[in-house]
Structure 1
Amino acid sequence: MSVDQVLNHLKKHGQLLDLEIASATGLAIDQVRKSLADLTSRGEISQCSVTHFNGDKRIDGFQCRISGYVPPVAPGRKAGPTKDGASD
């Protein structure tokens, strides 16, 4: 149950820290980390370890996102080659 809850939360909100997932879903951090490990082993998410500092306090966690997610292209004009092929 918690694995599905964590996966759905990541699908809805994108890349998040494990602490953010635990806070938003109301699950214990240990339960969230176990769910993330299960999802990583199945290849459904990718995760990396991160360290943040809040003053002198060290906070270790995992940053997670859905595997294979490519963000959409930003709107607006894109840089391209010049007409004569020369670049400045």
Structure 2
Amino acid sequence: MTWRIQLRKETPELPASQYSSARIRATWDGTGSVADASKALGFSRAKGYALVRRGEFPCRVLRIGRSTRVVTAPLLRVLDSGEPEYNGARAGHCAPS
């Protein structure tokens, strides 16, 4: 048990480069978690899920049963361009009801 506690304390958070476009392109499949996509976009997991609930996440989100996944290709476009592209997140567009 001591080993686990020590391991947790020594395990650092993933570096920002872990969420770069190149790294995501190389390591993610067709979808990623909302938590990881949120970190890649620069906000918290809680904020990411709040945006998903409001239909304002800046790229395409799939809801499969109880699971919510972020589509990788639109996420990469958002990271590369800096502009949101889906779910009503564009400026001047209303979120779908």
TM-score calculated relative to the size of structure 1:
0.33
> Which entry has the higher C-alpha Rg, 1 or 2?
1
Larger helix proportion, structure 1 or 2?
2
TM-score calculated relative to the size of structure 2:
0.31
Larger strand proportion, structure 1 or 2?
1
